[in-house]
């Protein structure tokens, strides 16, 4: 059962819904300086609708690779990925683009805003490509949801680090994705701003927003999530599998 | 919905990011466009003015004293001192030829004069002149009172340049004799506008060339008989005859060669401009790898990024093309003045003819050049791996 386009909470409890994102025996290896690096080694994961999970691990533990695989930015070398029940690991690029455009929202460590666009235009960026964004939020509404509607016309260099990251979150939810993936969104922020970002994600998920998987190495922030997944050397060492 | 950036907005926002690089890329395309437009425009303008000048000579064959016929023809057409003469008795022989419909005596002399000491060209004419050039009408004043009267009729531009009007006096010739301005011709759009017309006999006397002519302009009863006429002229001692068609062909051969060289220069400039443009766009794409990765992550397809980059190059081509056209339109007079100084024979009338078709070809050429140079960077943008670009920015 898919989340309705209005973004209101589904009638059935989250546990009764099929996973928004699912990984079975997921593997990813690549060659670096003539050596094969196993970045992800047989991950099993199911992320349910309405769930907020934290991915905890040190640098190089495989968090980013896992997020890239789940977000259809990269292809696995083994295993299965399902997004909204559809296997995606072998889909052509065109279909992966469509899934990213409609189902997935990304937040990156450095916000990755386009400096020449205003905050509002950065939020509207995912709607600038392709057609058929029925049910998408108005960019100003998405900006309002992160408390920055009054700074819509500002450029990224006129915003603080925390504000930039909130704009990036607004951009990630403007098309009402089913899955929000955030890679160390608080990595460049102080504890106070980091807390604000995690609280914001928590609030978005709680009010019928997307399922969220947020990578962090901050245990204190991770404690705010419904579930914590601990990664080391490309494997879950705790919290993996189904909920 | 407000706040969704259009592709044009994405492109325009990026163009302002590196203003100097954008300006240089536009300048490269503008120079290529200007060179192509200038070459094609000069060629078209030259041909049109040459044809107009030849048409308005009023005769088809020029008979002069032996020497270089092309030099004599170009001097007669643009106005100048022709240092070779035929006897007037020869003119009578020409006039009596059975194929001649009309003929006029030509006596041309150039000498410094006027307030700015510029070269004034004097043309001694007889009544035949008005029959061969019926479009030369008097704007004001009257025709000479007699063939030996010390009177002048000024070409339109000569009257303006010398600041003379009816009844004014003009000292000319080695003896500084005073001429009275008797009339002013209407504007004809030919080299005649810059000349000072004198009664033939008076002109011969003024320059101490009694009984001598610079040449004779001949209009035949039928152009089919031109070969026979030329053959008969060839048999006359001390004269040569040249048809203006032959003169045009020879000039066009020279112009054609020059045009080819100029077009090759334009091509080289276009290649250099295109390579510079390609380099600028490739650098721009390389600097924005992370942004392209981000755009892919938020749903841009490879085709979208390809199109976006190509749109950017097209916009730069558009700007460059318009700048090049504006540059030529604004500075065409300088190019024309330069060409007039450099080429051995420049007909009167505008030398730069910016016909709409030539402007369109040059403009389209510049846009196509930019788009062609944009293909490689556009392909690089389209093939960006989002995961790699977001992690490493490359």
Q: What is the pLDDT of residues B90-125, one digit of tens each?
A: 898 998 999 998 888 889 888 766 555 567 888 898
Question: Quick one: pLDDT at residue A6?
Answer: 35
Average pLDDT over residues A125-151: 86
pLDDT at A7: 33
Would you place residue A181 in the very low, low, confident or very high pLDDT band (cuts 50, 70, 90)? very high
Helix, strand, coil proportions of chain B in percent (round to 5)? 60, 15, 25
Residue B88, CA atoms < 13 Å, CB-side half-sphere: 10
Looking at residue B393, its pLDDT comes to: 53
Contacts of A73 in chain B (CB under 8 A): 296-297, 386-387, 390
Query: How far from the centroid of its chain's Cα atoms is residue B45's Cα?
Result: 4
- Cα dihedral sign, B202-B207-B212-B213: negative
Indicate the average pLDDT of chain B.
Answer: 86
B3 and A128 within 8 Å at the Cβ level: the answer is no
pLDDT at B114: 55
Residue A3 clears pLDDT 70, i.e. is over it: no
- Poorest-pLDDT segment among A140-149, A162-171, B246-255: B246-255
pTM of the complete model: 0.71
The contacts of residue B139 (CB under 8 Å, 6+ apart) are B156, B183, B184, B185, B186, B187
Average pLDDT over residues B25-50: 88
Interface touch A175/B299, C-beta < 8 Å = yes
Alpha-carbon dihedral B358, B359, B361, B362, rounded to 10 degrees: 110
- The residue among A106 and B72 whose pLDDT is bigger is A106
Q: Predicted confidence band at B62 (pLDDT cuts at 50, 70, 90)? A: confident
Residue A106's pLDDT is 93
Q: Give me the mean pLDDT over the B262-272 stretch.
A: 85
Spatial CB neighbours of B292, under 8 Å, sequence gap ≥ 6: B285, B300, B305, B381, B384, B389
Selection from B5, B14, B8 nearest residue B377 by Cα: B14
Chain B closest-CA separation from residue A104 CA (Å): 8
Q: Tell me which chain B residues have a C-beta less than 8 angstroms from the C-beta of A123.
A: 3
The yes-or-no verdict on residue B394 having pLDDT over 70 is no
**Is the four-CA dihedral A15, A21, A22, A27 of positive or negative sign?**
negative
User: Mind listing the pLDDT tens digit for each residue in B322-334?
Assistant: 999 999 999 988 8
Mean predicted confidence (pLDDT) in B175-188: 88
Looking at residue A5, its pLDDT comes to: 37
Do β-strands B177-185 and B215-220 pair in parallel, antiparallel, or remain unpaired? unpaired
Say what the pLDDT of residue B190 is: 79
Question: Rounded to whole angstroms, how far apart are CA atoms B143 and B229?
Answer: 32
Query: What sign for the dihedral angle of Cα A69, A71, A75, A79?
Result: positive
- Residue B152: helix, strand or coil by DSSP? strand
The pLDDT assigned to A4 comes to 35
- When scoring A62, A115, A121, A129 by the number of chain B Cβ atoms within 10 A, the one with the most, hence best to mutate, is A129
DSSP three-state, residue A20: coil
Cα–Cα distances in angstroms (integers) from residue B314 to residues B26, B270, B363, in the given order: 11, 15, 12
Residue with more model confidence, B346 or B299? B299
Q: Quick one: which of A155, A142, A104, A112 has its CA closest to B1?
A: A142
**Predicted confidence band at B380 (pLDDT cuts at 50, 70, 90)?**
very high
pLDDT category, B226, cuts 50, 70, 90? Answer: confident
Q: How far apart are CA A23 and CA A95, in angstroms?
A: 18
pLDDT at residue number A186: 87
Confidence of residue B78 (pLDDT cuts 50, 70, 90): low
Q: Which two tokens stand for residue A71?
A: 């977000």
Kindly tell me if the per-residue pLDDT of B369 is higher than 80: yes
Note the pLDDT of residue B345. Answer: 73
Looking at the partner chain, which of B9, B16, B299 has a beta carbon nearest the beta carbon of A130? B299
Are A104 and A177 within 8 A, CB to CB? yes
Phi, psi of A77 (to 5 degrees): -90, -10
State the average pLDDT over residues B57-81: 74
Buried b (16+ CB within 10 A) or exposed e, A160-191: eebbbbbbbbbbbbbbbbbbbbbbbbbbebee
User: C-alpha angle A176/A181/A186, rounded to 5°?
Assistant: 115
* pLDDT at residue number A12: 37
pLDDT at A1: 35
Per-residue CA distances from A149 to A162, A182, A225, B3, B41 (Å): 15, 22, 26, 12, 55
Q: Is B304–A130 a contact, with Cβ atoms under 8 angstroms apart?
A: yes
* DSSP structure class, residue B213: E
Spatial neighbors of B284 by CB under 8 A, at least 6 apart, are: B14, B18, B21, B312, B377
Distance CA B122, CA B99 (A): 30
State whether A125 and B295 contact (CB < 8 Å).
yes
A171/B3 Cβ within 8 A:
no
Q: How confident is the model at residue A59 (pLDDT cuts 50, 70, 90)?
A: confident
pLDDT of residue B102: 87
Nearest C-alpha neighbor of A72 from the set A94, A100, A38 = A100
Q: What is the CB neighbour count within 10 angstroms for residue B361?
A: 14
Is residue A13 over pLDDT 50?
no
A157–chain B nearest CA distance, Å: 13
Chain A nearest C-alpha distance from B44 (Å): 45
More confident residue, B68 or A199: A199
């Amino acid at each position: 059962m898919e989340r309705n386009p209005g973004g209101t909470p589904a009638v059935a409890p989250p546990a009764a819904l099929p996973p928004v994102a699912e990984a079975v025996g997921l593997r990813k290896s690549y060659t670096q300086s003539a050596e094969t690096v196993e970045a992800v080694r047989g991950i099993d994961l199911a992320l349910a609708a309405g769930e907020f999970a934290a991915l905890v691990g040190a640098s190089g533990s495989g968090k980013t690779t896992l997020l890239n695989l789940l977000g259809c930015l990269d292809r696995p070398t083994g295993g299965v990925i399902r997004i909204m029940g559809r296997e995606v690991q072998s889909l052509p690029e065109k279909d992966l683009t469509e899934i990213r455009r409609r189902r997935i929202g990304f937040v990156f460590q450095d916000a990755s805003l386009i400096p020449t666009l205003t905050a509002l235009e950065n939020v509207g960026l995912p709607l600038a490509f392709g057609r058929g964004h029925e049910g998408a939020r108005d960019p100003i509404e998405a900006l309002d949801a992160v408390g920055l509607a009054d700074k819509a016309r500002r450029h990224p260099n006129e915003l603080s680090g925390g504000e930039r990251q909130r704009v990036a979150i607004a951009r990630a939810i403007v098309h009402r994705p089913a899955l929000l993936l955030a890679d160390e969104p608080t990595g460049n922020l102080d504890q106070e701003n980091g807390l604000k970002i995690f609280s914001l994600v928590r609030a978005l998920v709680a009010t019928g927003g997307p399922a969220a998987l947020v990578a962090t190495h901050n245990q204190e922030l991770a404690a705010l999530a419904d579930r914590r997944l601990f990664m080391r050397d490309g494997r879950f060492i705790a919290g993996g599998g189904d909920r | 919905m407000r706040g969704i950036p259009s592709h044009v907005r994405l492109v325009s926002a990026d163009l302002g990011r590196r203003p100097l690089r954008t300006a240089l890329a536009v300048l490269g395309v503008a120079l290529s466009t200007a060179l192509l437009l200038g070459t094609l425009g000069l060629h078209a303008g030259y041909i049109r003015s040459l044809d107009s000048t030849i048409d308005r000579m009023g005769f088809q064959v020029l008979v002069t004293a032996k020497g270089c016929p092309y030099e004599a023809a170009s001097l007669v057409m643009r106005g100048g001192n022709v240092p070779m003469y035929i006897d007037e008795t020869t003119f009578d022989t020409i006039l009596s030829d059975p194929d001649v419909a009309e003929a006029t005596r030509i006596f041309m002399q150039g000498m410094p004069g006027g307030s700015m000491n510029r070269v004034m060209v004097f043309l001694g004419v007889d009544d035949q002149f008005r029959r061969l050039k019926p479009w030369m009408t008097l704007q004001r004043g009257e025709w000479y009172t007699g063939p030996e009267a010390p009177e002048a009729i000024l070409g339109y531009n000569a009257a303006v340049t010398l600041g003379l009007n009816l009844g004014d006096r003009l000292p000319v010739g080695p003896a500084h004799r005073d001429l009275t301005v008797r009339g002013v011709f209407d504007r004809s759009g030919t080299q005649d506008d810059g000349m000072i017309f004198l009664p033939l006999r008076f002109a011969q006397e003024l320059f101490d060339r009694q009984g001598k002519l610079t040449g004779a302009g001949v209009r035949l009863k039928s152009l089919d008989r031109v070969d026979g006429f030329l053959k008969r002229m060839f048999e006359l001692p001390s004269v040569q005859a040249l048809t203006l068609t032959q003169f045009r062909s020879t000039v066009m051969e020279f112009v054609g060669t020059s045009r080819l060289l100029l077009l090759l220069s334009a091509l080289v400039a276009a290649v250099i401009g295109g390579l510079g443009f390609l380099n600028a766009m490739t650098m721009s794409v390389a600097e924005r790898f992370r942004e392209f990765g981000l755009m892919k992550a938020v749903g841009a397809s490879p085709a979208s990024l390809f199109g976006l980059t190509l749109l950017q190059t097209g916009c730069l081509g558009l700007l460059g093309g318009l700048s090049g056209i504006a540059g030529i339109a604004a500075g065409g007079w300088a190019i024309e003045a330069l060409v007039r100084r450099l080429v051995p024979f420049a007909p009167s009338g505008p030398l730069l003819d910016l016909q709409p078709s030539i402007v369109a070809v040059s403009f389209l050429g510049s846009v196509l050049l930019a788009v062609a140079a944009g293909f490689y960077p556009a392909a690089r943008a389209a093939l960006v791996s989002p995961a790699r670009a977001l992690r490493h920015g490359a």
